[in-house]
């Protein structure tokens, strides 16, 4: 397996483009199951998870391909509504085919999801919503089997116990072809949920309220294919912003606005960075002195859990003590031990990490445990004295499009070394 090698100490300067959002692209790709014809999705990042979803769609009986930032999905005729374990285990987002399959075929069999080490992430809210719309759900041998008597879901009122991102998206896809009106309450409000609703409406759906906690969907009889460009990845953008802040750099993060990043921007400003809009991007100028900042992760529009590890790394260099509380996932501090190996001083008690700032980090051999943890270790390598080797970078490749090729032109001494474990 590849390793990322970083020699720390360089100030980052320049312009870095933001790729399309993986967390928007994946549900949109599954939405193509809802309509026959050829769908074209542009600005799709070249990531492992995107290729996994492309293969999964192929197994379901549709033609799907990725080339030069575009995904083409062509569906006509019979769909095989079974998502097998060998693909679903690789990526938890595979469960997003459930809603479209049940809506389109009246039945689905999907392996229980895997692909994530940061908590159980149950899908009970997805199933609860489908049952409210008239589906029957059974669990057999590690698979969820969903059938709809009569073949078509019925509109219903569904209140989610918590604002699950994928649950909101799955139920929204299920409801667009249901008979009557569905009202989803306590919905996730992430920009990626809004983007999915935007695409579904372009396909002929009738959805209102996406981006708020209440979404109303009036079911329609059929949808048509769509051509759509994916929104920029706010988490990739936020990661580059932290890189600029940590290295006291001056970086223009190009292709994204303030709106999806307001919570991150607020915390980086608290930590001492200067952040301004500039053209179609965000300029970040880091401070020589990083101030300690407390963070509590929350569903959008609160501070995103997907930026927790990156901000923790920044707080390792702060002049003082910070407290970082993780409320979204129960097992998302696995990067702490690796940061401590680099000289950080972090102590975890239940869901709160106390970070005592240190004067410097030291390069070390470290191991990625999940996607965002791997990003925090790359960022730590940028500021550490000496050389850092980040192993298990397949985690990184699930969510960052050639991160070494984006950080290198900014002045980072970073390269990918092929073939090491």
Pair of tokens at residue 392: 């298990």
Does 22-229 match 3-19+232-417 at the fold level? yes
pLDDT of residue 121: 53
* pTM score: 0.95
pLDDT of residue 89: 85
> What DSSP string runs through 382-397?
HHSBSEEEEE-THHHH
Host H or E run for residue 104: helix 98-105
Q: Could you check whether the bond before residue 301 is cis, i.e. omega within 30 degrees of 0?
A: yes
pLDDT of residue 311: 98
Spans of the chain below 70 pLDDT: 113-121, 420-421
pLDDT tens across 126-159, in order?
Answer: 999 999 999 999 988 889 999 999 999 999 999 9
Compute the distance between CA of residue 93 and CA of residue 23 in angstroms, rounded to an integer.
9
pLDDT tens across 188-244, in order?
Answer: 999 999 999 999 999 999 999 999 999 999 999 999 999 999 999 999 999 999 999
The fold for domain 22-229 equals UDP-n-acetylglucosamine1-carboxyvinyl-transferase; Chain (3.65.10)
pLDDT of residue 114: 53
Host H or E run for residue 310: helix 308-315
Q: Pick the closest to residue 358 from 321, 325, 331 (CA basis).
A: 321
> How buried is residue 7: exposed, middle or buried, by Cβ count under 10 Å (0-12/13-18/19+)?
middle
Active site residues: 116
Q: Is 191 helix (H, G, I), strand (E, B) or coil?
A: helix
> What DSSP string runs through 319-351?
SSEEEEE--S-TT--TTHHHHHHTT-EEEEETT
pLDDT of residue 116: 45
Host H or E run for residue 268: helix 262-270
CATH of domain 3-19+232-417: 3.65.10.10
Domain boundaries, the chain: 3-19+232-417, 22-229
pLDDT of residue 108: 97
């Amino acid at each position: 397996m590849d390793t990322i090698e970083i020699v720390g100490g360089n100030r980052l300067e320049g312009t870095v483009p933001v790729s399309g959002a993986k967390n928007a692209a994946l549900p949109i790709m599954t939405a193509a199951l809802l309509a026959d014809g050829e769908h074209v999705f542009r600005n799709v990042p070249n990531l492992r998870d995107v290729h996994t979803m492309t293969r999964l769609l192929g197994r379901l009986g549709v033609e799907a391909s990725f080339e030069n930032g575009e995904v083409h999905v062509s569906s006509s005729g019979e769909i095989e509504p079974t998502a097998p374990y060998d693909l679903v285990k690789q990526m938890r987002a595979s469960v997003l085919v459930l809603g479209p399959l049940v809506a389109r075929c009246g039945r689905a069999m999907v392996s229980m999801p895997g692909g994530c080490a940061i908590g159980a992430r149950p899908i009970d809210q997805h199933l609860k919503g489908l049952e409210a719309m008239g589906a029957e759900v059974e669990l057999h041998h590690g698979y969820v089997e969903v059938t709809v008597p009569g073949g078509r879901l019925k509109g219903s009122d569904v209140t989610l116990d918590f604002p699950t991102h994928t649950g909101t998206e799955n139920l929204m896809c299920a409801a667009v072809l249901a008979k009557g009106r569905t009202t989803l309450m306590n919905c996730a409000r992430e920009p990626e949920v809004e983007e999915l609703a935007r695409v579904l409406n372009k396909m002929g759906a009738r959805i209102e309220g996406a981006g708020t906690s209440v979404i109303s969907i009036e079911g329609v009889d059929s949808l048509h294919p769509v051509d759509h460009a994916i929104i920029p990845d706010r988490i990739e953008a936020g990661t580059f912003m932290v890189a600029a802040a940590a290295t006291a750099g001056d970086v223009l993060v190009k292709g994204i606005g303030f709106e999806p990043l307001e919570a991150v921007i607020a915390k980086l400003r608290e930590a001492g960075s200067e952040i301004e809009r500039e053209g179609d991007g965000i300029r970040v100028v880091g401070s020589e002195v990083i101030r300690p900042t407390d963070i509590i992760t929350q569903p959008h529009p609160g501070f995103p859990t997907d930026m927790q590890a990156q901000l923790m790394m920044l707080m390792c260099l702060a002049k003082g003590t910070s407290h970082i509380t993780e409320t979204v996932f129960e097992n998302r501090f696995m990067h702490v031990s690796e940061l401590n190996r680099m000289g950080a001083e972090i102590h975890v008690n239940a869901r709160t990490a106390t970070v005592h700032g240190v004067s410097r980090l030291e390069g070390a051999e470290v191991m990625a445990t999940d996607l965002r943890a791997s990003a925090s270790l790359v960022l730590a390598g940028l500021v550490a004295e000496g050389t850092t080797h980040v192993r298990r970078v397949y985690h990184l490749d699930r969510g960052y499009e050639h991160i070494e090729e984006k950080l290198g032109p900014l002045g980072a001494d970073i390269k990918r070394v092929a073939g090491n474990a």
